[in-house]
Amino acid sequence: MMLSVQDLAVSRGGITILDAVSLTLQPGEALVLRGPNGIGKTTLLRTVAGLQLPVSGRVELPPEGAAYSGHADGLKATLTVAENLTFWARIYGQRDIAPALKAMNLETLADRDAQNLSAGQKRRLGLARLLVTGRGLWLLDEPTVSLDAASVALFAEAVRAHLKRGGAALMATHIDLGLEEATILDLAPFRAKTPAPGQGGGFDEAFA
Amino acid sequence: MLALLLRDLRLATRAGGGFGLSLAFFLIVTVLVPFGVGPEGGTLARIAPGILWVGALLSCLLSLDRIFALDREDGSLDLLATAPIPLEGVVAIKGLAHWLTTGLPLTLAAPVLGVLLNLPQSGFLWLTLSLLFGTPALSVIGTFGAALTVGLKRGGLLLSLLVLPLYIPTLIFGAEAAKRGAEGLATATPLLMLAGITAGTVAILPFAAAAAIRVNLR
Amino acid sequence: MSIWEYANPKKFMQTSSWALPWVTGLAVLTLLTGLVWGFFFTPDDFRQGSTVKIIFIHVPSAMMAINCWAMMLVTSLVWLIRRHHVSVLAAKAAAPIGITMTLIALFTGAIWGQPMWGTWWAWDPRLTSFLILFLFYLGYIALWEAVDDPDTAADLTSVLCLVGSVFALLSRYAVLFWNQGLHQGASLSLDKEEHVADQFAHPLWLTMAGFVLLFVTLVLLRTRTEIRARRLRALEARERMA
């Protein structure tokens, strides 16, 4: 099992926004989180990644199991594409960055400074970072932002290959990636109920 | 871990990395002092160790907010926090990188500036030694301050307000060692205290700083 | 019935609203008695004249300046370990009181020092330590003000309080060392407690007790305000969500 989430509640700014979320991912599975802006997709992903503590519930994943990719790509403008990627590869104890460059079609850009990349190219570099982590579970927050159609296809291909290798992916995205193996999870039913002010709200509840 | 150190050093030395800025600031502060207190050699010699220590401390302060703020902006800090290296290690490496790019150059430049301030012959060795022992503490304490303020939009001023009081013991023992050295007195006690502070901060503060970063990333 | 029950905001509000009038009354009574006794019913010192009587404000405020930080350290630790909101809000509420006490101690010290030593200020270890304590309070309060999210602010200030305590202690020893090392000409002895005669000591004890009670009163009041502000914030956030 790659990931098991049980009865998870997450909060943003001190307010519980999602409640009773349960999901599991087996090797080869992908799950796409859907829902309107502000429902808590990012918060859920950050909680699963361990950047944030859950309000209640449990997140279980194998140690050193997940690689997280957020809105920002974590690129250094004054380092070249290859230097950026090599850095992350070494942080994750990997050596070879060539396959990742190839998969994201960045080979010709390898020696260019990251500051001279277009938004889409930067995003591709950010996704190539996932490939050099060697982690089984990918946690992706809006991975396709600023990608053109060809790059989206490239990315979908990378995810598919990852799933074939026995990996798994949990992602928040609005675009249909054309991944027929992916399941879709709508977060709207998990929206936390807000008790009306003054109702059942002792100091305790109206505090956190 | 080594990769992180190399990356930070590389970033510091590339364009816009800010390497050398603190050094230039140190130079300017030192040059300004005689304009303020007068060119009389005896006065300058007497205050030289203290001025150089305060100058080094302020120069060190100048580059603190870059330690985590840049990584926070581009998302690297999130990724580092989820990476397989412990956050305490990240903090320690960041502190080390800051010392290598700021504290060490300041230490090496201080004797040269000592000449400008008419520092007595006997003082050079002790000034350099005291800075060598003391500046790592400045970097580590500063890293802790930077970790506390990493979530704030304009944390620079607050960072100074938080860090400067924490610098007091280091400054006292460091300047005292340099001063005693310049006067030809025994320097063992303040130097040992200084080394003790550095060892203590290096051992403990990365944990506090990592805790602060985790809180700020939530 | 455990002490942690009072960490429940509701329970705290109930208990404190009951206790507050009593503590306030007791504080006023003790403080007034102590001060009137001290100011009007003690003899003038044969050397210091009537200026000595500032001792009845100076010493208690100096004591509270330190005790307040100690209280903040304890409540911060309780927050970090047991996550009781009331605890950290009490620390937040205490800080401005502590910094005021530090300022009172510094100013009364200066007023006292001028006629006695012929100077408003000297870099005496004790004076310097209080100045440093003032800076630590300043940083702590500034951090509370700067961070928007209350729980984040609580965590960060608590960590700062912990680290700050260690460094404040370290500074104290460093300052003692530094002043010896400077070989200043006139060393000013501040060990006045040792010389205090009984006729001064009794009202002094009373004012010290009064300052403790005053501190408790103010902390209770301010903690209640902080809790209400926190509740208001939570309710407003909920309203926006709904």
Which chain A residue has the Cα nearest residue B6? A87
Nearest to A85 by CA among A47, A61, A50, A114: A114
Interface A-B: count of C-beta contacts within 8 A = 69
Domain span including residue C175: 72-241
The residue-averaged pLDDT of A143-163 equals 84
Name the residue facing A14 among C10, C150, C231 (closest C-beta): C150
Residues of chain B contacting A67 with CB distance shorter than 8 Å: 82
Interface A-C: count of C-beta contacts within 8 A = 44
CA distance B131 to B174: 7
Indicate the pTM of the whole model.
Answer: 0.89
CA distance C135 to A17: 40
CA distance B147 to B159: 9
Whether A196 has a pLDDT exceeding 60, the answer reads no
CA distance A142 to chain C (A): 24
Q: For residue C12, is it within any domain? A: no
Q: What is the pLDDT, as a whole number, of residue C47?
A: 67
Within an 8 Å CB–CB cutoff, is residue A127 touching chain B?
Answer: no
Whether A46 has a pLDDT exceeding 60, the answer reads yes
Alpha-carbon dihedral sign for residues C110, C115, C119, C125: negative
DSSP string, C201-230: HHHHHHHHHHHHHHHHHHHHHHHHHHHHHH
The residue-averaged pLDDT of C1-8 equals 70
The residue-averaged pLDDT of A69-88 equals 86
Within an 8 Å CB–CB cutoff, is residue A202 touching chain C?
Answer: yes
CA distance B27 to chain A (A): 27
Residues of chain A contacting B4 with CB distance shorter than 8 Å: 87, 91
Residue A96 neighbours by CB distance under 10 Å: 10
Complex ipTM, two decimals? 0.90
Q: Using pLDDT thresholds of 50, 70 and 90, give the confidence band for residue A207.
A: low
**Cβ separation A204–C10 shorter than 8 A:** yes
Q: What is the mean pLDDT for each group of 10 consecutive residues in chain B (218 residues)?
A: 84 77 92 91 90 94 88 88 89 94 93 91 91 95 94 85 94 92 87 94 94 90
Whether C71 has a pLDDT exceeding 70, the answer reads yes
**B114 token code pair:** 């000592």
Within an 8 Å CB–CB cutoff, is residue A91 touching chain B?
Answer: yes
- Average per-residue pLDDT for chain B: 90
The residue-averaged pLDDT of C167-183 equals 77
**Cβ separation C10–A203 shorter than 8 A:** yes
Residues of chain A contacting C241 with CB distance shorter than 8 Å: 15, 17, 194
The residue-averaged pLDDT of C207-222 equals 94
Write out pLDDT tens, residues A99-139: 888 888 888 888 888 888 888 888 888 888 888 888 888 88
CA distance C23 to C214: 8
Q: Using pLDDT thresholds of 50, 70 and 90, give the confidence band for residue C242.
A: low
Cβ pair A26, A174 in contact under 8 A: no
Q: What is the pLDDT, as a whole number, of residue A92?
A: 86
The residue-averaged pLDDT of C5-13 equals 80
**Chain A stretch 59-88, residues whose beta carbon is closer than 8 A to a beta carbon of chain C:** none
**Cβ separation B80–A88 shorter than 8 A:** no
Residues of chain B contacting C135 with CB distance shorter than 8 Å: 164-165
Name the residue facing B162 among C155, C160, C174 (closest C-beta): C160
Write out pLDDT tens, residues B110-161: 999 999 998 988 889 999 999 999 999 999 999 999 999 998 877 788 999 9
Q: What is the pLDDT, as a whole number, of residue C99?
A: 96
The residue-averaged pLDDT of A187-207 equals 59
Residue A204 neighbours by CB distance under 10 Å: 12
Residues of chain A contacting C227 with CB distance shorter than 8 Å: 203
Cβ pair A27, A168 in contact under 8 A: yes
DSSP string, A111-162: TSBGGGS-HHHHHHHHHHHHHTT--SEEEEESTTTT--HHHHHHHHHHHHHH
**Cβ separation C177–B172 shorter than 8 A:** yes
Q: What is the pLDDT, as a whole number, of residue C180?
A: 63
CA distance B80 to A88: 9
Number of domains composing chain C: 1
For residue C239, the number of C-alpha atoms closer than 13 Å in the C-beta half-sphere is: 8
| Residue C61: partners with Cβ closer than 8 Å, 6 or more residues away | C101, C102, C104, C105, C108, C211
Q: Which residues of C touch A (CB under 8 A)?
A: 8-10, 13, 85, 149-151, 227, 230-231, 234-235, 237-239, 241-242
The residue-averaged pLDDT of C190-198 equals 54
Residues of chain C contacting A14 with CB distance shorter than 8 Å: 149-151, 234, 237
Q: Which chains touch C (3 or more CB pairs under 8 A)?
A: A, B
